[in-house]
Structure 1
């Protein structure tokens, strides 16, 4: 009994923030759920980022859902990647069942169904409002990753982007990118960039162009263009609740490099465009990065540096980022060290690699008076997790095995009719459904090339007019006619003079 009282006292002291908080669940001791040992996450600490990890089927997605619901209730907007398309159920209240009621009783909190405002987005535009981005906003490093370019080729992209920015050439879509690259490998373009930017080899240019075309053939081109997503749309609130924006990637799951890099580009734009706000009582936006391991697999050093920079500094913009993956080891140490809030679902140790991952994960947790961490991690059930977060003073809390509270919304996708109706009737869909063809680098360079050709033709004509001694047919005919008229004129005048003299002589004789 003394151990239980001590457990309640320590957990309550660690997980009872003074301000607003997210209720995650109750602590577990020796297999028993202790409702009095409430586990809360302070809202003011959520911009210190977090990790939600665990093996497949352990309840990670539902943990994302329950946190998103309570953030919405707290008037905090949320952005989430909907990998399988089953988070759309957030829009409808959940349906009570025996399991949910039993979990509610164990926690001392009856299950209360609720729905939440959502906005549905899609990269293809088929499953929601098209979420586009301008190529210039994507940037050379992220685009190089999507195109699978090496460092030299990515460096050429950087030169291209710098030239376009200096020359006021908007690179909005892939046609603009191809046009600028092609222009810089022409004789005229090569001369223009030689001194300030350096030459671009034909081999490198051809490789990049080939990879851009391959990307277009995969049907990915339409995500680059206008109207691009306005960041303000991610901060919507309705009736005192934060809107949960869902990016449904069910139709592009076979393009993991694309959607993971797209999410990072979105974070990069938030980082570059939001003002500094310091520490707030609650965040302006929480960004859930599901399938996070896809972001780091095979990443180059510049790419990893960019991720680290964004994660380290974006919290000062009032944005919190939660990575969701299978194991903490999926995240590089430089990024993992910045994730102060940790929710670790069960890990399995079926293979030597699993055992090694378990050992490394257990070492990232502080000592606990109540658990042997590696054993606890393998014995957790579905909907349970080992948790440590930052309290409202920024200090890591006591590690606690937690029986998580269930989501209150529908745990599954909306039916297709409701889903499509929600998409078609949304203001967001109406705003983004039709692409816009703005004046951009493609048109500007076409006009520039046409002007250069006109100038060259004019200069060539003038040069030929000055240096050519060969007569045109018209000139020859005119000269011949002039000579002929000259000769005939002289003959005529001679004959006329002779006739006049003869007439005068004849008149003199008659007199």
Structure 2
């Protein structure tokens, strides 16, 4: 409960135990074995921060924090606790709290996304656990993308960019140095693993603006942002990715706040041991760095886990507000852990911390917080207040109504896939393939045209040769016809000339014969001589023509 401008979390005998809002950004821890009441304590703190106008973020691992959007109804155990602690006289009442649901996978809340560019090469390299060389190459890939104005929004953009650099490694290597294919392949495999783990849903647009979490409702209550982690916690890599991004985003975007009367925002990470057990070393170092420095940004971080030893010492030492529920001490290892947990509190002379720690009942806790001067108070055994909202999960239809009724629904629900590196590089590939196809088609067209021209030329030559043969044939036929005509004409001439000559020779011969015959034999001799002369003349003429 928020009372007297303080966060009332429990009672020790008749003394109220408060967390001072101005000390809430010194971080805190809620620890205890399963079933001892950690989730109840978490809800009480979250409700109280909301009441004092501080926005709250909750990582809901088991799904039992969703009931904060509804008021509690007819819970006998809660009613008994209220009566036992006399809370009605203190103004306790059941009420719902302003709540927005989120889910990286978009199944049980608004999709929570960021972009590859916003994550950046250094942070992404830590998440992917790249070695120094691979991290340097990833930085070069980001630089190339920036210079070529290729937006890296989602994992397919990054995969396309890695493939692009790999295909042009020789060209880029001349400018940026050697880019081994083995390193590029290793980066690609790590990106694919992240994508399969949930990165395909987490990376994209619209990217979350942390400013949308830093708000209150119309009554001045801080809005509680609940991230459903029931599926997410099954992927340690993705959970680590989200955690590291969110802490870095807070640290890098929020301005220095100095000492404030209350935090700008408080973050609760339930089942934190699941985070630290599987987190890479780089994540642990980053979380420790952020936890140490983010206080000055006005942000408080609270880890909820089963045992304080689940939290690395470097981080545990930064947690000023500690609420410790019961720990089991059945084995020597558990006893050692319980003694270490008891020893972490400021000693109370009136309380055996170890003995009390192992005998706490459900809803009881050992509490040590920072007083107004920032000094840890002595540990006290307390009864934790009950929550004012519904305990346990909610029905799917109620959750759906809350999601769709959120003012942020229209902004974040629909994924936007605008043109980025993947689309641009894909377009380049298609254009290159189109150019190659066009060049091939043009080459084929030229080849076909040349083939057709050659065929036409061959046909023309063939036709020309045929025409020449026809011409020669016709000329030969004409020549032969001329020769035949000449021969026939010569024969006709010879015949005509022969006839004329024969007639003339006969006449001449006859005249000569007549004259000779007349001289020799008178009239009879004349006749005989003429005939003989004619025959002789014709014979001589034929002989001459033959020659």
TM-score (norm 2): 0.74
Deviates more, 1:152-161 or 1:201-210: 152-161
Q: What is the CA deviation profile of residues 423-447 of structure 1, one whole-angstrom value per residue up to 9, with x for unaligned ones?
A: 2232322321211012222234345
RMSD of aligned residue pairs (Cα, Å): 3.4
Q: Residues 230 and 295 (structure 1 numbering): CA distance in 2 closer, same or farther, change over 3 Å?
A: same
CA distances 1:243-278 after superposition (whole Å, capped 9, x unpaired): 111111223342233124313311211111111111
Does the 8 Å CA contact 1:21/1:40 hold for their aligned counterparts?
A: yes
Cα distance per residue 1:456-477 (max 9 Å; x no partner): 99999xxx9xxxxxxx779999
Aligned to 1:75: 53
2:377 and 2:178 mapped to 1: Cα distance? Answer: 56
Change (3 A) 1:72 1:312: same
Out of 136, 139, 148, the residue aligned to residue 117 of structure 2 is 136
- Aligned mates of 2:114, 2:108 — CA distance in 1: 17
**Aligned positions of 1:485-504 closer than 5 A:** none
1:224 to 203, 223, 227: 203
Which aligned pairs between 1:131-210 and structure 2 lie closer than 5 A?
131-140=112-121, 142-144=123-125, 147=128, 149=130, 153-165=134-146, 167-186=148-167, 188-196=168-176, 198-210=177-189
Q: Return the match for 1:278 from 248, 253, 258.
A: 258
Match of 1:212 in 2: 191
Partner of 1:39 in structure 2? 17
Check whether the contact 2:346–2:377 (CA below 8 A) recurs between aligned residues.
no
CA pair 396-224 structure 1, distance change in 2 beyond 3 A: same
SS state at 2:83 partner = helix
* Pairing 1:190-339 to 2, within 5 Å after superposition: 190-196=170-176, 198-217=177-196, 220-238=199-217, 239-339=219-319
- Verify the 8 A CA contact 1:145 1:261 in the aligned structure 2: no
Q: In structure 1, what is the Cα distance between the partners aligned to 2:32 and 2:80?
A: 23
3, 11, 15: which one aligns with 1:26:
11
Q: Deviations over 1:395-415 (max 9, x none)?
A: 111111111111011101122
Q: 2:366 aligns with which of 386, 400, 409?
A: 386
SS in 2 for 1:421: helix
Q: Secondary structure at the match of 2:367?
A: strand
- Asked if the contact 2:237/2:279 (under 8 Å) is kept, the reply is no
Residue 123 of structure 1 aligns with which residue?
Answer: 104
CA–CA distance in structure 2, aligned partners of residues 170 and 287 of structure 1: 31
Q: Which residue of 2 aligns with 1:405?
A: 385
The number of equivalent residue pairs is 453
Q: Aligned partners of 1:61 and 1:44: how far apart in 2?
A: 23
Change (3 A) 1:48 1:218: closer
Looking at both structures, which has the greater relative contact order when contacts are Cα pairs under 8 Å and sequence separation is at least 6? Answer: 1
1:501 aligned partner: none
CA deviation vs aligned residue, 1:320-359 (integer Å, no higher than 9, x gap): 1111111111111111111111111111123333223212
Aligned counterparts, 1:412-451, within 5 A: 412-446=392-426
When residues 274 and 443 of structure 1 are mapped into structure 2, their CA distance, relative to the original with a 3 A threshold, is same
Please list every run of 5 or more consecutive structure 1 residues that lacks an aligned counterpart in the other structure: 1-15, 28-33, 465-471, 482-511
Task: State how far apart, in whole Å, the 2-side matches of 1:376 and 1:356 are.
Answer: 15
Moved more, 177-186 or 447-456: 447-456
8 Å contact kept, 2:320–2:370: yes
- Which of residues 341, 349, 355 is equivalent to 2:321? 341
| Partner Cα separation in structure 2 for residue 394 and residue 64 of structure 1 | 22
How big is the shift at 1:150? 5.5
Give the secondary structure class of the aligned counterpart of 2:293: helix
Cα distance change, pair 450–157 in 1 and its aligned pair in 2 (3 A): same
Aligned to 1:87: 65
Partner of 1:359: 339
Q: Matched residues in 2 for 1:157 and 1:301: separation?
A: 19
The structure-2 alpha-carbon separation of the partners of 1:159 and 1:388, relative to structure 1 and needing over 3 Å to count, comes to farther
Q: Is the 8 A contact 2:59 2:227 kept in 1?
A: yes
In structure 2, the CA distance between the partners of 1:75 and 1:142, relative to structure 1 (3 Å rule), is same
Cα gap change, 1:50 to 1:60, in 2 (>3 Å): same
Mapped contact 1:81–1:290 kept (Cα < 8 A): yes
What's the secondary structure of 1:235's corresponding residue?
Answer: coil
Q: TM-score, normalised by structure 1?
A: 0.79
- Name 1:113's counterpart in structure 2: 94
